[in-house]
A and B are shown apart, each in its own frame.
Chain A
């Protein structure tokens, strides 16, 4: 079923929207959740919570790319679960590695106090992504949005491990400089 047809089911409050979403994007959402959580039960729960969130969001939202819309929800839910599970200690796994890498981009550590500041940060990161080449953007999104392992990224793009690692290092450095210039 096409995305627009599934979204129409949501708008008409037709519960088959969930079934159709599950058929088309269930594996995709599960993969995102599992990369973050490394746990089957929590990942399944995240996917089910994603469907519920989508049910409550559509309407009023009418996402143009349903998969990406769902992927963002799953990522957010899974990361929140990960944080709850690792409140005491960061632990291991891909999510911990990604956080360690992104730590390099933080020049001035401090809490963001207002919703406006968080929105400004989102806007800054979006603009940063648009400065990247197509390949850089794909690699950045693979690693820091989808939390894919370096090994997966090597295979997806047919790059060597050293190439992916050095590319990610340069991207983090670019992001650090960009954020610093924007006052973060």
Chain B
């Protein structure tokens, strides 16, 4: 759901860039004293993995595709604050090098995927322990709802820009992303299970 520049008005682009920058400063203060040198290669790997996995569009319904987002994956591995920078890094590279997502729309894309996506995942994972017994179901639901909330926010930004009415866009947008969210849940749970088996996860102090 990378938003191109043409879908957003200048005020919405500027506002979301402001919000995203402020949240970035907050995350910076949160991690600047805590980040461990030994984790940095694995953080960089996660950035590369999320980029690579985002290239893999899978078909949903007729004529539509979706792809992995990775916010929940990043939160599970390193917590929400490092996850913000991982997601933002991927989005910046995609916008600047691959023309995926607009330049001024970067604020909205960061807000949806790097902020809302990670916060929803963080909230559901930290509270989900009491709700779900199975870790896989907990991971699945966090990933699923991170996509739902991101697609809802995306609808709000596009409709606030006057491109289309909210009532016209949100139901289809969230509807199709409910299907993509199922893919997100399955991929996130599978990736974490694989990295656990390969003993990669045990080296970081994340959520799993």
Q: Does B bind A?
A: no
Residues of B within 8 A of A (CB): none
